[in-house]
């Protein structure tokens, strides 16, 4: 399994469709939580990519992938969102340029403070 598997897992987590959340307005507080979770997921993706690349075999790679996905879900929950809420916001971002800009603004502001 290649490092792209971990990125695929992150993308699947971020972009899976959640119909229950798809039409809901997103508050600034929810976007802050989403941005925090997103940053954590990106960090985890970078951490696990080399581990996947160096996995001895497919079974080891699968175990690493499962561990990474579990940590990504935990990161989302630690940020104060459910997996469905995170996925719902991610889905809305694909279809709402203004919402995407709000998230980008939050991420840029956070990057400037580090």
Give me the sign of the Cα torsion angle 98, 96, 44, 18: positive
Contact call for residues 36 and 79 (beta carbons, < 8 A): yes
Give residue 55's pLDDT.
96
Can you give the residue ranges of every domain in the chain? Answer: 4-113
Q: How far apart are CA 86 and CA 80, in angstroms?
A: 10
Give residue 21's pLDDT.
47
* The model's pTM: 0.76
Q: How far apart are CA 40 and CA 93, in angstroms?
A: 18
Q: How far apart are CA 48 and CA 36, in angstroms?
A: 18
pLDDT string in tens for the chain (114-residue length): 555 566 556 656 655 544 444 557 999 999 999 999 999 999 999 999 999 999 999 999 999 999 999 999 999 999 999 999 999 999 999 999 999 999 999 999 988 886
């Amino acid at each position: 399994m290649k490092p792209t598997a971990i990125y695929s897992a992150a993308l699947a987590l971020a972009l899976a469709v959640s119909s229950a959340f798809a039409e809901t307005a997103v508050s600034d507080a929810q976007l802050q939580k989403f941005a925090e979770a997103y940053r954590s997921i990106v960090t985890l993706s970078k951490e696990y990519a080399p581990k996947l690349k160096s996995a001895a075999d497919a079974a080891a790679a699968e175990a690493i992938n499962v561990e990474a996905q579990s940590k990504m879900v935990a990161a989302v929950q630690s940020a104060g969102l459910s997996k469905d809420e995170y996925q719902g916001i991610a889905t809305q971002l694909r279809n709402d340029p203004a919402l995407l800009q709000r998230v980008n603004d939050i991420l840029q502001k956070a990057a400037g403070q580090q």
